[in-house]
Amino acid sequence: MWSHFSKSAPGTTSGGEAPYAHVLQPRQVDVSHGVILYLEEVAVSFDGFKALRGLSLSIDDGELRCIIGPNGAGKTTMMDCITGKTRPDSGSIFFGQGMDLTRMNEPEIASAGIGRKFQKPTVFEHHTVFDNLELARKQDKRVRRSLTSHQASEARDQVCETMKRIGLAGHADLAAGTLSHGQKQWLEIGMLLMQGPRLLLLDEPVAGMTDDETERTAELFLSLAGEHSLIVVEHDMAFVARIARTVTVLHEGCVLAEGSLDVVQNDQRVVEVYLGR
Amino acid sequence: MCFCARANLDQALILKLAAQDSDEQIEAIHLLGSSGLGEALQVLKALSEGGLSVVPEQVFFFRGTQAIDAATGQVLPQAPENADTVIINNRVRAELEETLAGLKLLDADPEIRRRAALSLLNSPAAQQLPLIQKALARETDSGIRHLLEQTAAILNIQSPDVTVRLKAVQLLGQSNRANTRNVLQSILAAQTEPDENVRKAIQTALKSINNRLTLTEFLASMFTGISLGSILMLTALGLAITYGVMGVINMAHGEFLMVGAYATYAMQGWFRSHASLDQDAYLLAAIPAAFLAAALVGMALERTVVRWLYGRPLETLLATWGLSLALIQSARLLFGAQNVELANPSWMSGTLLLPWGLELPWNRMVIIGFSVLVLMLVWLMMNQTRMGLYVRAVTQNRPMAGCMGIHTGRIDTLAFGLGAGIAGLGGVALSQVTNVGPDMGQSYIVDSFMVVVLGGVGQLAGAVWAALGLGIATKFLEGWVGAVIAKIVVLVFIIVFIQRRPQGLFALKGRSVDLGG
Amino acid sequence: MFSLTSGFFRGQIGLGKLVAAGLVLLLLVLFPLLHLATGPASLWHVSDYLITLLGKIMCYAIVAVAMDLIWGYAGILSLGHGLYFALGGYAFGMYLMRAIGPEGVYQSDLPDFMVFLDWKRLPWYWTGTDHLLWSGILVIGVPALLAGIFGYFAFRSRIKGVYFSIITQAMTYAFMLLFFRNETGFGGNNGFTDFKRILGYSITSPEMRIGLYVLSGLVLLLSLLLCRFLVASKFGKVLTAIRDAESRAMFLGYNPLWYKLTAWILSAVLCAIAGALYVPQVGIINPGEMSPANSIEIAIWVAVGGRGTLWGPVLGAFIVNLAKSYCTVAFPEYWLFILGFLFVAVTLFIPEGIPGLAKRLTLVSWRKR
Ligand SMILES: Nc1ncnc2c1ncn2[C@@H]1O[C@H](COP(=O)(O)OP(=O)(O)OP(=O)(O)O)[C@@H](O)[C@H]1O
Ligand SMILES: [Mg+2]
């Protein structure tokens, strides 16, 4: 394990070469306490509207956590905070023991090992499936390297393997824009895998998938857990039931209940929230 | 020239006017001028127009076909033969013009007297002193008297007599003009004043002038700033509406100003060709005409071009730029490439004199009032009418508004027309303060974009505040560093500002922010 | 299976390469030879006028390529590229002014306009401009620095789309105002003109004309190859990825700031070099080059030629500018209408430019068969 006090010095938030230091000397996330992500008292407000109010959460290393909650509960906002898209007004977010995510920008956080799938599938529509995955592959992502990089054969193999895994093996040269909605979802998941992250954030991953695809996704996630940590936000309760070990219920920007699916489903307050006040 | 009895002018003096030596000519001009006589004025005028002729020992000029002796004012039975025209060089001409201007102080029309007094005050000349004294003796209008006294005081400050100087300084202390301050300061700086008391008096006078001046200058800058801001506001208001509703940056927006201004020009022409109409009313008639003309052009453009480019802001920008080129060239072909001139109606010309020497031009005041009126109308329209409700609905959520049964297409056209019409009104206002030409819109477009950027895209309130702020800031900066640098400073400020607050002063609320750009 | 270019595409390149090579030969070898070797009376003579015109347009074509890099591939529409073009021109113009020496109207060592303003010494920023090398450094350095500073702040605060375009426009406008001032020290309204020589050789000699012409052509070729290499590299792929889905690229660990900034600075420098080549050929540079209208025109060359193709914008620059130089003589009143119509028509009907149009036409004729 590397010492974590040397990296992400406060102040080197945006720009600068610092964010890529990890590529040259790989820096591991310190999970010595078995926890990969801490959120403490995170609060965010938009023009006075409080989207998150004192949200606290911790995710264990290798855990698969499902997060549910009614529309507008703040699930996506929480992910925005973790990935650096939104800066919390107060509170702290730590990746492992020492990495303060509130001081890092998006590319830095991504390079540190957090991958994210958006609620609306976003892929590079004008690039081929192959290029999409290749671009996502874990590598030095600085400009300098991009000018000189050659495609190594191992990279090619890695992409091929991922394509098989996400069921797009025959579509390497197809422009991503021509894929179906479900295929785009898969492609995006594939890109996350190529990124080789420690923690995956998945916002409604099975929206727009057939039952069959949903089932395969569930299997994939279950196989990923352990090696990776996953946070899955989903409205589809059948899917949640299929994969869930621990479920967290968000409501109006803070945690309402947490526990196994059975426990939270029988929680009086959760029932109230879902069935209406 | 009725104010004096017929008097003969000194024959020797008159002959000197025709002398070869320009120094002699100038001396004669000064002497004639300070006499203040009507006959002298006539002779000098003739000289200035090149109508003074000379034969040996006689100088005469023509009035119609009659030849008139310059010295006696008598009509000569017949014009002398072989006369030479009296020729003057540039130096003499300058002196002559100055003297002629001075003589206007004795004119019967108070407005002419006032103007003459004002120009004299701005560039006083020592040889005018006797004339000024004469004018003061018979002047009854207190405003003009004040101007004359100030001028006299500025001249008297060089007097050899200490008491005269002291009195002059005290008089100047009541002034509130930057010029006066400069005069006093330069005397102090040159250290030419021998008398201790006078020096002290100058200092007190300077102090009291300064006190009044800072306020006046501040108010004056404020005023011109607001008036610039109000025109910017009229431009930016329309831009904010079109951007807000359709997310369209319309590069042809400046040309709607131009359309409005030319509509005003056309209206003026129409009134002129109908002499029975009250000419001053053309401007009132121009307001609806300009609004309609600009709005129609705007709606036509929206229907034919802009409509097909929704969701492609960069392409829209280019296409509307093309439209603006075509509009400019159309104006050139229709009205000529030259700037055309518009006359202020009489009720808009002149200035309002306020205490502390504040002079507010009427045309600018009217423009400010007009902008406020338009702003109120737009506000009412957006907040109190159905159309406004629809427009706001479309601004906030186009698909949803469409689902609610609002004809978003029609709203787009109307909103575009409204925005263009408002710019047309801006053109009416602009035509009263600057030249009207085919590419007048171009010089305002960068500014009005800056207003929109600064105010926050699609925000009416933002546009208003940003326009006023920009106008005032520009004018204050102009006072310090000159117009060009002021403009650059403002642009740089905006570029820096955008860094800090990309969403502008007034951010759009909600998630649409993410989609912007 | 993973061939990145399909066979069809490759076949097209073969034909394209042939055509391109032919054009290069014609423009860069045949025309200059004909110009130098034949007299004005000859049927085959290529006139001074044509050489100057083509040389000028090749400079514009470099700008079009630079614009395509930033607009076509990075999705950033600059309405202020004329600024970098003009700055390059001014930087080289400084050398040209110094090279006049005491042969100006006032026969002073200072440039004429400074004598006219009653200046006694050169301003500090003119130091060293009598050396060709230093002015060459300025040609590249000044626009690069300006583009770097501006781009860094603009991209860092994630200014995009029309916002960005408008700000670039305001920027070039501000510079135009600045250069209009006499006190700025660049000749005010009139700018620089009456150049005499470069490195001791007369600027009006046919050899110099051809030299500059060929140089422009070579630079154009090099810019094309450089940009071609860039967009085909990983860098280009990331750039388009950022254009299409910036946040996706960001969450994959690419920092858009540096990618955009690199492309932006490179684009600005290419413009500046084009400007430096342009000035000695047309013999004048003034602040009018910085007017917003000029910069927007660049966009139409690119749009006509087709964005994101690199060779298309070169074609576009040639077509629009040849049309311009013909129309402004033949029917000057209507040129602005034509240009305006072009802006509207291209965006409305052929958003992909001429290549798109060609593709559509072949499709139509195919269907008819
Ligand atoms: N950029 C923003 N500006 C203003 N309000 C926002 C912004 N982002 C989110 N919100 C608000 O914050 C609240 C939480 O939104 P969030 O997207 O996190 O909900 P969610 O739990 O993901 O809902 P869903 O299940 O529908 O995806 C919502 O009421 C939303 O309107
Ligand atoms: Mg959500």
pLDDT exceeds cutoff 70 at A80: yes
Q: Is the pLDDT of residue C355 over 60?
A: yes
In the predicted structure, residue B510 carries a pLDDT above the cut 80: no
Mean pLDDT of C76-87: 95
Mean pLDDT of B504-512: 49
A72 lines ligand 1 (CB under 6 A): yes
What pLDDT was estimated at residue B212? 76
Contact C253 A111 (CB under 8 A): yes
Residue B202 belongs to a domain: no
Residue identified by tokens 């492309």 is C263
A72 pLDDT band, cuts 50/70/90, is: confident
Residue B479's pLDDT band (cuts 50, 70, 90): confident
Output the average pLDDT for chain C: 88
- Partners of A173 on chain C (C-beta within 8 Å) are 1-4, 6
Same domain, B380 and B294: yes
The domain that holds B329 is classified in CATH as 1.10.3470
Q: What is the pLDDT of residues A100-111, one digit of tens each?
A: 898 888 999 999
Residue (of B303, B266, B302) closest to B285 by Cα position: B266
> HEC profile for A139-202?
CCCCHHHHHHCCCCHHHHHHHHHHHHHCCCHHHCCCEHHHCCHHHHHHHHHHHHHHHCCCEEEE
pLDDT at residue C313 greater than cutoff 60: yes
Name the token pair of B64: 């119609």
Q: What is the pLDDT of residues C201-246, one digit of tens each?
A: 999 888 899 999 999 999 999 999 999 999 999 999 999 999 999 9
Stretch B47-52: mean pLDDT: 81
Q: How high is the pLDDT of residue A14?
A: 40
Does B128 fall in a domain? yes
CA A76 to centroid of ligand 1, rounded, Å: 7
User: How many whole angstroms from C165 Cα to the centroid of ligand 2?
Assistant: 32
**Separation of CA C175 from chain center:** 18
Q: Do C237 and A147 touch (CB under 8 A)?
A: no
pLDDT tier at B5 (50, 70, 90 boundaries)?
A: very low
What ligand is nearest to the CA atom of residue B508?
1
Q: Which of A251, A254, A255 is nearest to A272 (CA)?
A: A251
Q: Dihedral sign, CA of C121, C127, C131, C137? A: negative
For residue C229, give how far its alpha carbon lies from the nearest alpha carbon of chain A (Å). Answer: 9
pLDDT tens, residue by residue, C135-145: 999 999 999 99
In our burial notation (b when 16+ CB lie closer than 10 A, e otherwise), range B441-474 reads bbebbbbbbbbbbbbbbbbbebbbbbbbbbbbbb
Q: DSSP class of residue C183?
A: G
- The neighbour count for residue B369, using CB atoms within 10 Å, is 11
Residue A6 pLDDT more than 50?
no
Least confident of A61-65, B297-301, B302-306, B499-503: B499-503
The pLDDT mean for chain A works out to 83
Highest mean pLDDT among B128-132, B280-284, C187-191, C260-264: C260-264
Cα–Cα distance measured from residue A271 to residue B88, given in angstroms and rounded to the nearest whole number: 105
Q: Is the pLDDT of residue A90 over 70?
A: yes
How many residues are recorded in chain A? 277
Q: Are residues B144 and B24 in the same domain?
A: yes
Given a cut of 50, whether residue B491 has pLDDT beyond it is yes
Within-domain flag for B209:
no
Res. B459 pLDDT band, cuts 50 70 90: low
State how far the Cα of C134 lies from the Cα of C113, in Å rounded to an integer: 22
- For residues A50 and A213, the answer to whether their CB atoms sit within 8 Å is no
**pLDDT surpasses 80 at A264:** yes
Cβ distance C288 to C294 under 8 Å? yes
* Residues C247, A149: C-beta atoms closer than 8 Å: no
Q: B230 and B367 in contact (C-beta within 8 Å)?
A: yes
What value does the mean pLDDT take over residues B486-505? Answer: 76
Domain contains B488:
yes
pLDDT band with cut points at 50, 70 and 90 for residue C290: very high
Judge whether residue A17 has pLDDT over 70: no
Q: What is the pLDDT of residue C175?
A: 92
Tell whether the model's pLDDT for residue C151 goes beyond 60: yes
Q: Are B134 and B222 contained in the same domain?
A: no
Q: Which residues of A touch C249 (CB under 8 A)?
A: 124, 135
Q: Is A86 in the pocket of ligand 1 (CB under 6 A)?
A: no
The pLDDT mean for chain B works out to: 81
| pLDDT band for position C68 (cuts 50, 70, 90) | very high
Kindly indicate the confidence band of residue C21, based on its pLDDT and cuts at 50, 70 and 90: confident
A55 beta partners: A42
Torsions phi, psi of A63, nearest 5? -80, 150
- Domains contained in chain B, number: 2
Residue in this structure with the two tokens 């797009």, named with its chain if needed: A168
pLDDT of residue B9: 73
pLDDT of residue A67: 92
Instruction: Find the helix or strand (DSSP H, E) in which B3 lies.
Output: none
Query: What is the model's pLDDT at position B248?
Result: 76
- With beta carbons less than 8 A apart as the criterion, state whether C298 and C63 touch: yes
Containing domain of residue B96, as a range? 11-155
CB contact (8 A) between residue C230 and residue A195: no
Does B498 sit within 8 Å of C180, measured CB to CB? no
- CA distance linking residue A239 with residue A185, whole number of Å: 15
Residue entry with tokens 């002796």: B69
**Predicted pLDDT at A4:** 40
- Give the span between the Cα atoms of B470 and B465, in whole angstroms: 8
pLDDT at residue number A11: 39
Q: How far apart (Å, rounded) are the C-alpha atoms in residues C57 and C314?
A: 9
Is the Cβ pair A46, B507 closer than 8 Å?
no
Please list every residue in chain B whose beta carbon sits closer than 8 Å to the beta carbon of residue C174. Answer: 487-488, 491-492
Mean pLDDT calculated for residue range A227-252: 89
Asked if residue B266 has pLDDT above 50, the reply is: yes
Q: Minimal Cα–Cα distance from B460 to chain A, Å?
A: 18
Rounded to whole angstroms, how far apart are CA atoms B369 and B372? Answer: 5
Q: What is the pLDDT of residue C354?
A: 85
* Nearest Cα residue to atom 1 of ligand 1: B511
Q: Kindly give the pairing relationship between strand A199-203 and strand A114-117.
A: parallel
Query: Taking CA A126 as the corner, what is the angle to CA A125 and CA A131, rounded to the nearest 5 degrees?
Result: 90
Residue B351 lies in a domain: no
Q: For residue B498, with 0-12 CB atoms within 10 Å meaning exposed, 13-18 middle and 19 or more buried, which class applies? A: buried
Contact assessment for residue B320 and residue B314, using Cβ atoms and an 8 Å cutoff: no
Task: Tell whether the torsion through CA atoms of C42, C48, C49 and C50 is positive or negative.
Answer: positive
Residue B54 has pLDDT above 90, yes or no: no
Q: Determine, yes or no, domain membership for B492.
A: yes
3-class secondary structure, C43:
coil
Structure-derived torsion over alpha carbons of residues C20, C23, C29, C30, reported in degrees to the nearest 10? 150
pLDDT in tens, A159-195: 999 898 888 888 888 999 998 888 888 899 999 999 8
**Candidate CATH numbers 3.20.20.70, 3.40.47.10, 3.40.920.10, 3.40.50.300; the one for domain A5-275:** 3.40.50.300
CA distance C239 to chain A (A): 10
pLDDT score of C255 more than 60: yes
> From chain A, which residues contact B within 8 Å (Cβ)?
46-47
Size of interface A-B (CB pairs under 8 A): 3
C138: contact with B, CB 8 A cutoff: no
User: Residue A217 above 80 pLDDT?
Assistant: yes
Task: Examine the pLDDT at C315 and tell me if it is beyond 90.
Answer: yes
Q: Residue range B46-63: average pLDDT?
A: 82
Per-residue pLDDT of B133-180, as tens digits, reads 888 887 888 778 888 888 888 888 878 888 888 888 888 887 767 777
Residue C191 pLDDT grade (very low, low, confident, very high; cuts 50, 70, 90): very high
Best A137, A141, A168 member to test C by mutation, with max C CBs in 10 Å, is: A141
Q: Provide the pLDDT for residue A216.
A: 87
- Report, as an integer, the average pLDDT of C180-198: 90
pLDDT 10s digits, B338-382: 888 888 888 877 777 776 667 788 888 899 999 999 999 988 988
- Residue C301, chain A, CB below 8 Å: the answer is no
Q: For residue A247, what are the β-bridge partners?
A: A66, A259
Q: For residue B199, is it within any domain?
A: no
**Closest of A147, A142, A140, A159 to residue C231, by C-alpha:** A147
Of the segments C16-30, C50-64, C167-181, which one has the largest average pLDDT value? C50-64
Q: What percent of chain C has pLDDT over 90?
A: 60
The whole-number pLDDT of residue B186 equals 81
- Per-residue burial over C276-292, b if 16 or more Cβ lie within 10 Å, else e, is bbbbbbeebbbbbbbbb
- Tokens matching residue A45: 């407000």
Q: Which residues have CB under 8 Å from B17's CB, separation 6+?
A: B25, B28, B29, B32, B43, B47, B52, B59, B70, B86
The Cα B281–Cα A266 span in angstroms is 80
* Cross-chain Cβ contact A191/C252 below 8 Å: yes
| Cβ–Cβ < 8 Å for B451, B325 | no
Mean pLDDT for B2-12 is: 59
Closest CA to C168 of C254, C273, C80: C80
| Residues of chain A contacting residue B509, judged by C-beta atoms under 8 Å apart | 46-47
Distance A51 CA to ligand 1 centre (A): 7
Q: C270 burial class (0-12, 13-18, 19+ CB within 10 angstroms)?
A: buried
pLDDT at B497: 80
**Comparison of pLDDT for A163 and B187, the residue scoring more:** A163
Q: Is residue B139 part of a domain?
A: yes
Ligand number with the minimum distance to the CA of A235: 1
Name the strand (E) or helix (H) holding C121. Answer: none
C311-330 vs C353-368: helix axis angle to the nearest 10?
Answer: 100
What DSSP string describes chain A?
A: ---SSSSS-TT--SSSSGGGHHHHS------TTSEEEEEEEEEEEETTEEEEEEEEEEEETT-EEEEE--TTSSHHHHHHHHHTSS--SEEEEEETTTEEGGGS-HHHHHHHTEEEE-SS----TTSBHHHHHHHHSSS--SHHHHHH----HHHHHHHHHHHHHTT-GGGTTSBGGGS-HHHHHHHHHHHHHHH--SEEEEESTTTT--HHHHHHHHHHHHHHBTTBEEEEE-S-HHHHHHH-SEEEEEETTEEEEEE-HHHHHH-HHHHHHHH--
Reported as half-sphere exposure (CB side, CA atoms, 13 A), residue A192 has a value of 28
Least confident of A20-34, A176-190, B53-67, B236-250: A20-34
Cα C240 to chain centroid distance, Å, stands at 22
What does the pLDDT read at residue B263? 95
3-state secondary structure of C236: helix
Q: How far is A189 from chain C (nearest CA, A)?
A: 12
Give the model's confidence band at B504: pLDDT under 50 very low, under 70 low, under 90 confident, else very high: low
